[in-house]
């Protein structure tokens, strides 16, 4: 694909079009789509990946915010092979896009300025999601996959890993996009846990605990959770009050959330055991 054939990228949409066929092939290798998959592409742009998906799938749904991209996308598919939604992904009900027999697979080169909100919005329909594959800013992916004790482990790591298994698949340099972003990118996979670990009523409790725990990274967990747990309560949960949030694993945050839920009037499904 020549740069001269590409539409103008719009900064307000955070557009950086993937133009390297080799990277598209690597994405396809990671996806391994089956022709009957219920697959959704977010932000197809001029359709570098879309064209490859249409060669494999019986049907593809795409969500594109930029209305100027729609005519080019319409020209790619035969009648009925593709559903094009000109919409903001943050306002789409993803649960309604799944099939009664098959869960939804999602792929996309997400605008880096809204990538994280889009992912968490999709996770609201996590029961209908089979997997997600996204191109994101490398730094964000590193934070999502980070392990306890690492410099990049934080609120985003804990929140994403509470929903999904997270894997960084490969790094993509700026020269593979037009216009070239100022940062490296990475292609990642998210596999939602089955069954879901965060029940509906535990979600806000978990989010509050994680947000409070990382409110001030240099403070101890006891200081950040003051007013929620005292030192004795933390020790009873097998958590050292003098530790910092970045040293705690997922299990510790779930213990905190479940204990906090039990202090209030949360539904029984929020409680362990």
8 Å CB contact between 141 and 188: yes
Query: If residue 132 lies in a helix (H) or strand (E), which one and from where to where?
Result: strand 129-137
- Taking the C-alpha atoms of residue 71 and residue 57, their distance in angstroms, rounded to an integer, is 20
For the annotated binding site, the residues are: 16, 18, 43, 64, 88, 109
8 Å CB contact between 54 and 80: no
For the annotated binding site for S-adenosyl-L-methionine, the residues are: 16, 18, 43, 64, 88, 109
DSSP state string for 197-244: SS-TTHHHHHHHHHHHHTSSTTS-HHHHTTTT--HHHHHHTT--TTS-
Torsion of CA 197, 203, 205, 207, to 10 degrees: 100
8 Å CB contact between 196 and 127: yes
DSSP state string for 58-80: S-EEEEES-GGGHHHHHTTS-TT
Q: Please compute, for residue 133, the number of CA atoms within 13 A of its CA located in the half-sphere on the CB side.
A: 18
How long, in residues, is the chain? 273
């Amino acid at each position: 694909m020549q740069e001269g054939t590409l539409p103008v990228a719009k900064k307000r949409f955070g557009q950086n079009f993937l133009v390297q066929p080799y990277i598209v092939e690597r994405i396809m290798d990671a996806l391994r789509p089956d022709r009957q998959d219920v697959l959704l592409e977010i932000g197809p742009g001029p359709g570098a990946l879309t064209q490859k998906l249409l060669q494999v799938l019986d049907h593809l749904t795409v969500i594109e915010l930029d209305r100027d991209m729609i005519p080019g996308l319409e020209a790619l598919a035969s009648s009925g092979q593709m559903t094009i939604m000109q919409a903001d992904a943050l306002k789409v009900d993803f649960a309604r896009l799944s099939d009664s027999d098959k869960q939804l697979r999602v792929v996309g080169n997400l605008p880096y300025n809204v990538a994280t909100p889009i992912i968490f919005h999709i996770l609201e329909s996590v029961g209908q999601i089979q997997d997600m594959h996204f191109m994101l800013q490398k730094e964000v992916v590193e934070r999502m996959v980070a392990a306890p004790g690492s410099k990049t482990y934080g609120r985003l790591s804990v929140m994403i890993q509470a929903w999904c298994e997270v894997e960084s698949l490969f790094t993509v340099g700026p020269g593979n996009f037009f216009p070239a972003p100022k940062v490296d990118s990475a292609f990642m996979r998210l596999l939602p846990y089955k069954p879901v670990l965060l029940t509906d009523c535990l979600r806000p409790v978990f989010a509050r605990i994680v947000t409070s725990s990382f409110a001030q990274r240099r403070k101890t967990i006891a200081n950040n959770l003051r007013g929620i747990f005292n030192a004795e309560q933390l020790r009873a949960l097998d958590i050292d009050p003098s530790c910092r949030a970045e040293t705690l694993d997922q299990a510790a945050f779930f213990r905190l959330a479940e204990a906090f839920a039990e202090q209030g009037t949360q539904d029984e499904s929020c409680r362990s055991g």
